[in-house]
Every structure is written in structure tokens, then in C-alpha cells.
């Protein structure tokens, strides 16, 4: 087998070079398929190439150690198994029916690795009208330019490049991008507020491409702590996005994350035991659910949620936002904390949502509401907010920190962004628990109750300076005084003009 030959070195890459190289694959597909579909195929090939190169790297190392080809190829000696006929170098040798051979390799890899089951399920290259052999040859040649083993591309670098691709595809996809990607600095803000610690469990019930879970992992790394001690869990309904998340975890060298597939509200997978109605609970829960989802499962919840998540009531048929919030709360330990991104409507809409909001406020589990600027999210120009819920709120009882960050952003041509400076202002204000003029305020629950538990941010924190009240009598006196001074100046001017002979 040609796998017994050592890998040829073709140069280490910098992160910008790797990003440019990976994005270059999209240029090969441009005009041939919809840009919103690029990610499925490019991610599939990238993952396949990485698997093959890392396996070969491991094989070469074992050969140098054991001098035994069979032992070096033993599945127990590798992080994952690649069957004969499913290696990158074997597929690139084909010049006809390349798509069929690629699909076959994907299926073999899935069958040989339980952790990778269904990860290539929606990547189908066996369509010659969409992917003629000439196009696939160009793609294989492009990806073959650099080897992607650990010696040349670390897991962190490849993971960063992968996240760069996810962002680029989100930009390309426009509105659809919001389904699988949350802007990086919004995620960093949420993670820094939750501040996960070593040994904690972190759960995202609408995990998309996994950015919030991976950022939690990075947070511990940046603190110089053991990120591997985190237990990461997620659930995602969309098959393509679920596969992207699984690849994302794997490319970041996170092998033990549990990423489930399915509808979180109708069929949560974080169960204590298979088939039970009890939910597994976590130390930190974080999510960016789809805004104001219409078909969210009202027909089930309206008859009483079978998992008991509707503790504050059933949300309205047309808005699933607070169903996600209640699922997250039910999935949170009594000592836990959660952060969730939602549209501003949840702060002031009445009816069923008003009752749910009132119940949460009366129970005093809502710790902070952070208002964000408009146009930060893909496909959602409306402003959003972050709810921070703390089940073990032991300080500032019966008070709510409200931060109005409507003016805290960097303006962009198509989309606004948060800068590191913006994020730090939010985080420091949250940690300080004190009033900041025209930005943040600790609001007593009595005041919120007087406002019928309406959390419209402008009721509590004005971002512009309020004009002082006008005293009409004083202003009228000032006006008369100014008129008298004007008349006096006019008289002096006319007298001078008369002296000079310009007036009679």
C-alpha cells in the first residue's frame, strides 16, 4: 500500500495563508452551485483531507517506532480508522467517476468510526451535472497543495481557519448565515459573562456550528486553565449544521464533546436516561436560538410540556423565544448560570409572554438584561438582547442589572460589529454591579412591578442626555431682556450713522 511511504513535506502554513487557501476552494465552485451550499462540500473535503493526513502522520510515527507495517496500521494505534480504499491519496488517483469514489470513501470512514457516523451524510459529490470530473479534479488538486497533518497545521490553527470559513460562508449566505453562525464578539461577550470554570459542563441546545461551545473551551485556554476538563454538550436540528459542528469539534481536537441531532423543544436529547422525561442539567447553558420561531411546538406545549419545562407557562403560538428560555432553565443546575440571545420583543410583549416574564422576575432568577445594538446578526437587523439567568442569585436580590448598549458598537457597511473594547465595557459593567450614566442601572424590582414587569430598556436607561424642563416665565424674562439690549444697540448704531451723514 502506498500509505507505507512517508508523507512528503510541502511546507508549514501561516494562518492567513491557510485561510486564503481554504477560501480559494470556493472560487472553484463559484457559478457552479449556490453559494449557500459551498460549505457542505468544502468542509467535507477539508475534513477528509485532514483525516487522511493525520492518519498518515500517525502511521509514519508508528513505523519509525515499531518497524512493522501491520502494527503501524492497527486501528488501536490511531485516533480514528481509515479503511483501505478510503484514503485521500487513493481517491485522487481516479480520473473518472471521482464523485462516486469520494462518496464511497466517506461511507467507509463513517462505518469504521462510530464517532463520525453520518458526518458526511449530506455531502454528495456523485452528481456529474453539478460536479463533473474536471471540477472535482480541480478541487482535489487545490486541497492537495498543502498537507494538513499536526506537524504542519496544529489543531488550533486549523480550527481557527475553519471558524474563518464558517464566518465567510455566513457572510456569503446572508440571512441564512444566522442559522449556523453567531458573530464572534457576541459569543465572547456571553462566555466572558458566564466565566466557565475547570470541570464544569457547558450545554448549547441550539448549537449551530458549535461556536459557543468552542469559545467556552478557548476561554479556559486563555485563562491558562485545563480546557480539556470541560464537558461540552450540544443539540442541533439541521443535519448540515450538525455535521459542521461535529467537524468543527474534531478539527479543534475536541474528541469527547457530545453533539446530538434533533428538535430541542419537541424532542430534547439531554435526558438523564434513554426514554426518560427527566432532563440532564448543566453548570453553564448558553444559546442563540432562532428568533421568534413560528413552528416551535406549540401544539405539544399547549397541552402541558411532557418534560415539565413550562413552569412559567406556555409561550404564544407565533413566538417560540421563551420556550427556548424555559428549556434552558430546566437544563440548568440549581447552582448554574445561563446566557441567551433573544429579540427585544421578549422584554415587553404582553399576553402569555408577559406572564412568563413576570414569573421569572418574581422568582428573582433574572440577573441581568443586556441590550445590544441593531444589525449585529446575520439576517436580523433588529436589535437583540442577552438575558443572564442565575438560579443561585445570592447578591443584589430583588434587583435587576439593565445595560442599554444601543450605542455600543462599531458601524459597518452591511453589518455592525462589537469590538474588544465594546465587549470589555459590557463585561466590566456586569461584574461591577453598579450604575453607569446613560449605560447601565441597578433597577429595584418594585420599580419593574410598577411598570407591569415591562423591561423595555428605554424605560430604565436612557442613552441620550435628557433635556431639562423649560421654565416659561424665566425664558420669557430672558427674551424681553435680549430684545431690550437689541433695541439699545440698534439706537446707538443709528445715532452713529446719523453723525456720519448716512441717516436723516
Q: How does pLDDT run across 199-220, given as a tens digit for each residue?
A: 999 999 999 989 999 999 999 9
Helix (H, G, I), strand (E, B) or coil at 18: helix
* pLDDT higher than threshold 50 for residue 502: yes
pLDDT value for 148: 93
Highest mean pLDDT among 70-79, 241-250, 392-401: 70-79
Q: Produce one character per residue of 30-67: b if its CB has 16 or more CB atoms within 10 Å, e if not.
A: eeeeebebbbbbbbbbbbbbbbbbbbbbbbbebbeeee
DSSP E strand stretches across 364-475: 366-371, 384-390, 399-404, 440-444
Reading phi first (left if > 0) and then psi (alpha if -120 to 50, else beta), residue 387 is in beta
What are the φ/ψ torsions at residue 443 (nearest 5 degrees)? -105, 125
Q: What would the grid cell of residue 496 be?
A: 452713529
Give 256's Cβ-side CA count (13 Å radius).
Answer: 8
* pLDDT higher than threshold 50 for residue 2: no
Residue carrying C-alpha cell 467556552: 216
> What residues form DSSP beta bridges with 258?
233
* pLDDT higher than threshold 90 for residue 189: yes
Q: 238 and 209 in contact (C-beta within 8 Å)? A: no
Q: 190 and 341 in contact (C-beta within 8 Å)? A: yes
pLDDT value for 11: 58
Q: What would the grid cell of residue 425 be?
A: 465595557
What is the distance between the alpha carbons of residues 410 and 396, in angstroms, rounded to a whole number?
A: 32
What is the distance between the alpha carbons of residues 395 and 449, in angstroms, rounded to a whole number?
A: 20
Helix (H, G, I), strand (E, B) or coil at 248: helix
Amino acid at each position: 500500500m502506498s500509505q507505507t511511504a512517508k508523507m512528503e513535506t510541502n511546507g508549514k502554513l501561516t494562518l492567513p495563508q491557510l485561510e486564503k487557501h481554504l477560501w480559494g476552494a470556493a472560487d472553484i465552485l463559484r457559478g457552479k452551485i449556490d453559494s449557500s451550499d459551498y460549505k457542505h462540500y468544502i468542509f467535507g473535503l477539508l475534513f477528509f483531507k485532514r483525516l487522511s493526513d493525520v492518519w498518515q502522520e500517525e502511521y509514519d510515527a508508528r513505523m519509525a517506532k515499531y518497524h512493522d507495517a501491520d502494527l503501524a496500521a492497527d486501528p488501536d494505534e490511531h485516533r480514528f480508522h481509515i479503511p483501505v480504499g478510503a484514503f485521500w491519496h487513493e481517491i485522487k488517483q481516479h480520473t473518472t467517476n471521482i464523485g462516486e469514489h469520494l462518496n464511497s470513501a466517506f461511507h467507509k470512514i463513517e462505518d469504521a468510526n462510530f464517532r463520525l457516523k453520518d458526518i458526511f451524510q449530506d455531502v454528495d459529490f456523485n452528481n456529474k451535472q453539478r460536479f463533473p470530473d474536471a471540477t472535482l479534479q480541480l478541487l482535489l488538486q487545490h486541497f492537495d497543495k498543502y498537507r494538513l497533518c499536526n506537524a504542519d497545521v496544529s489543531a488550533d490553527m486549523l480550527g481557527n481557519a475553519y471558524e474563518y470559513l464558517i464566518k465567510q460562508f455566513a457572510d456569503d449566505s446572508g440571512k441564512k448565515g444566522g442559522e449556523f453562525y453567531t458573530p464572534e464578539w457576541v459569543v465572547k461577550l456571553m462566555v466572558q459573562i458566564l466565566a466557565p470554570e475547570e470541570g464544569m459542563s457547558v450545554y448549547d441546545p441550539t448549537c449551530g456550528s458549535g461556536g459557543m461551545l468552542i469559545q467556552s473551551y478557548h476561554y479556559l485556554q486563555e485563562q491558562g486553565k485545563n480546557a480539556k476538563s470541560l464537558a461540552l454538550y450540544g443539540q442541533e436540528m439541521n443535519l448540515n449544521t450538525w455535521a459542521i459542528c461535529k467537524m468543527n469539534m474534531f478539527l479543534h481536537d475536541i474528541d469527547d464533546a457530545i453533539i446530538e441531532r434533533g428538535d430541542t423543544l419537541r424532542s430534547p436529547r439531554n435526558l438523564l436516561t434513554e426514554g426518560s422525561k427527566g432532563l440532564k442539567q448543566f453548570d453553564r447553558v448558553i444559546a442563540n436560538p432562532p428568533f421568534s420561531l413560528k413552528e416551535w411546538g406549540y401544539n405539544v406545549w399547549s397541552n402541558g410540556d411532557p418534560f415539565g419545562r413550562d413552569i412559567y407557562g406556555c409561550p404564544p403560538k407565533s413566538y417560540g423565544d421563551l420556550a427556548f428560555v424555559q428549556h434552558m432553565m430546566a437544563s440548568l443546575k440549581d447552582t448554574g448560570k445561563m446566557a441567551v440571545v433573544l429579540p427585544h420583543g421578549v422584554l415587553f410583549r404582553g399576553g402569555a409572554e408577559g406572564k412568563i416574564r413576570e414569573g421569572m422576575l418574581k422568582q428573582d432568577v433574572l440577573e441581568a438584561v443586556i441590550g445590544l445594538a441593531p444589525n449585529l446578526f446575520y439576517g436580523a437587523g433588529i436589535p437583540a438582547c442577552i438575558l443572564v439567568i442565575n438560579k443561585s442569585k445570592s447578591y443584589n436580590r430583588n434587583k435587576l442589572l439593565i445595560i442599554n448598549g444601543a450605542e455600543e458598537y462599531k458601524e459597518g457597511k452591511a453589518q455592525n460589529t462589537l469590538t474588544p473594547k465594546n465587549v470589555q465595557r459590557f463585561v466590566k459593567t456586569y461584574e461591577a454591579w453598579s450604575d453607569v450614566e446613560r449605560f447601565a442601572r441597578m433597577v429595584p424590582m418594585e420599580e419593574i412591578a410598577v411598570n407591569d414587569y415591562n423591561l423595555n430598556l428605554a424605560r430604565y436607561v436612557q442613552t441620550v442626555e435628557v433635556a431639562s424642563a423649560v421654565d416659561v416665565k424665566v425664558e420669557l424674562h430672558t427674551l424681553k431682556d435680549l430684545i431690550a439690549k437689541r433695541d439699545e444697540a440698534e439706537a446707538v448704531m443709528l445715532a452713529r450713522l446719523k453723525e456720519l451723514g448716512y441717516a436723516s
